[in-house]
Amino acid sequence: MGVTFLAGYSYHEQNLRISEGFQAIPASGPFSGLNSTYQTEWKGPWLGFELEGWVKKYQGFVRLEYHWADYYAEADWNLRDDFAHPVSFTHEADARGLVFGAGGNYQVHPDWLVGLNFDLQNWETGLGLDRTYFSDGSTIDTQLNVSKWRSWAANLAATYRFW
C-alpha cells in the first residue's frame, strides 16, 4: 500500500450550444432559429492524494483532489435582439471543485497494465458577477448566485511502464 501526495494546476473548458428550442410556458411548442452558446472555464491550483495497493497482478487505487478555481463564462443568446452579440453576458466567480477517482489495473505483462477507472467531479461557484451587454452598448452588473458542474467518466486504460 502506498500514498502519493499530488499537486497541480487544472484547466477545464465547456463549449455548449443550445438549439432546437421548445417553449413550454406558455405552451407554444417548438421554435426555430435558436443557436445560442455558453462557454465556461474553470481553472486553478489543486492538491490531492492517491492511495494505491497491489495484490499479485492486480492494482487498485483511490484518488481525491480539491481544486481552487477561477470561473469565467461567456454566452451569446442569439434570439435576443436587445442583447449584444457575440457576447451577451459574462460570468465571473471564485469556485471550488472536488474530484474523486477510483480504479483498478491488471498486469498483463511486466511492462503493460490494462484497467478501468472512474471519476466523479463536483464543482460550484460562490457568489460572483453577472454582466449583461446590451445592443445599445450599455451594460448592467448583477449578482451571479451560483454555477454548478457535476460530471462522471468511465475510462478504459492501457499503461506502459518504462521502469
Whole-structure pTM value: 0.84
15, 147, 92, 81: CA torsion to nearest 10 = 60
Q: What is the pLDDT of residue 24?
A: 86
Cβ atoms < 10 Å from Cβ of 65: 20
**Pairwise CA distance, residues 139 & 73, whole Å:** 16
Q: What is the pLDDT of residue 32?
A: 87
pLDDT tens figures, 10-35: 999 999 999 988 888 888 888 889 99
Q: Are the C-beta atoms of residues 12 and 41 closer than 8 Å to each other?
A: yes
**Beta pairing class for 58-76 and 29-55:** antiparallel
Q: How many domains does the chain contain in total?
A: 1
Give the CATH number of the domain where residue 18 resides: 2.40.160
Q: Are the C-beta atoms of residues 23 and 32 closer than 8 Å to each other?
A: no
**Full domain range(s) for residue 57:** 2-160
pLDDT along the chain (163 residues), means of 10: 95 95 85 93 98 94 98 96 97 98 95 96 98 98 97 96 83
